[in-house]
Structure 1
Amino acid sequence: MDISVIDATKTTTEKGITYGSSDAPKKMIEFINLACPYCRQWFEESHELLEEAVQSGQLQRVIKLFDKEKESLQRGNVMHRYITISDGQQAIKEIKQIFDTQDEWKHLSLQGVADFAADKLGLAEQKNEQLSQA
């Protein structure tokens, strides 16, 4: 995923889905688009290690859902609206569920993706637009 458009001087841990203790000695910022196959690979390959670090109090994850204009990634933008941003542990479960089913919805229409999230995954649409834009 091209992250060259991210201005690192404006990137903070203030906005995003937080998972783990705010007192953790390390904080990690992750930019994720839920339709990105590379984001999926990163999530799957690092999940156990990061979960262990969070559970031991060593790491706080700050996940930023990254809306993209590229047509194939717009489906991820739709899925971003279905993540419970106020509860990091729940958000991680939902992200995993979405990545686990990515092959099933990645070629659907945008409305089809929304329907899949609601009907097949049982997720409710949230008010996440401002967070994705931030």
Structure 2
Amino acid sequence: MANQIENTQLSFGQKDATVKIEVFLNLTCPYCATFYGVAEEVLKDYLDNGQVEFIVKHYDKPREMLLNGTLINLFLDYQNPSRTKEILKELFATQGQWDQLNNQDIKKLLAKQYQLKEEPQNTEISLNVTAEAIRRNVKMVPTVFINDKEYQYPTELSAEELKTTIEAELEKSVFTS
């Protein structure tokens, strides 16, 4: 893989894994919630075996429907990726319960339920991810890159297709190494 992957604050699995899966997502997007659930299920063994690195990039895309996700992103603890991964999983699972809350109620929920506080460095992380999304022409969330090949979820990537694509990439690497 030629390119250096940017914005790897939320990276899971081995850094030297053969297959790199990057996803631009937003916590308020229902398709992102579905994709995240699929990824959790499909990627588990690959992550455990060191074959895949999964990089989550919260894209604070300026769209009204996604603003609550952008607010939550300001509170995520990028210093603790494994805990943040669990919080993302839970927030995606409960999306329908909080996605219509106002700012103050979301802040209260994050403080009370997850002991999160606003993280000043997250604004810069958000701006960097946004700049990368613009450079890479990411128009929608979720957008998934598997070894730099772009997929639009849900139209191009079901759970089965994700697994098949990973297997094909792993097989390719056997022949090139």
Counterpart-to-counterpart distance in 1, 2:33 and 2:42: 15
Q: Deviations over 1:92-120 (max 9, x none)?
A: 11111211221111001122212211123
Residue from 6, 9, 31 that aligns with 1:14:
6
Matched, 1:99 2:92: yes
Counterpart-to-counterpart distance in 1, 2:19 and 2:30: 26
Residue from 18, 27, 45 that aligns with 2:20:
27
TM-score by length of 1: 0.83
Determine what percentage of the aligned residue pairs are the same residue. Answer: 27
- The higher radius of gyration belongs to 2
Within a 5 Å distance, the mapping from 1:35-74 to structure 2 comes to: 35-74=28-67
Counterpart-to-counterpart distance in 2, 1:50 and 1:79: 25
Counterpart-to-counterpart distance in 2, 1:18 and 1:86: 11
Matched pairs, number: 124
Per the TM alignment, residue 75 of structure 1 is displaced from its structure 2 partner at its CA by: 0.1
**Which aligned runs of 4 or more in structure 1 are off by greater than 3 angstroms?**
none
1:72–1:31 distance in 2 versus 1, CA, 3 Å: same
- 8 Å CA contact 1:118–1:125 kept in 2: the answer is no
Counterpart-to-counterpart distance in 2, 1:21 and 1:124: 29
* Equivalent position SS for 2:85: helix
Per the TM alignment, residue 133 of structure 1 is displaced from its structure 2 partner at its CA by: 1.5
Per the TM alignment, residue 78 of structure 1 is displaced from its structure 2 partner at its CA by: 0.8
Residue from 112, 124, 131 that aligns with 1:130:
124
* Equivalent position SS for 2:116: coil
* Equivalent position SS for 1:31: strand
TM-score by length of 2: 0.64
* Equivalent position SS for 2:55: strand
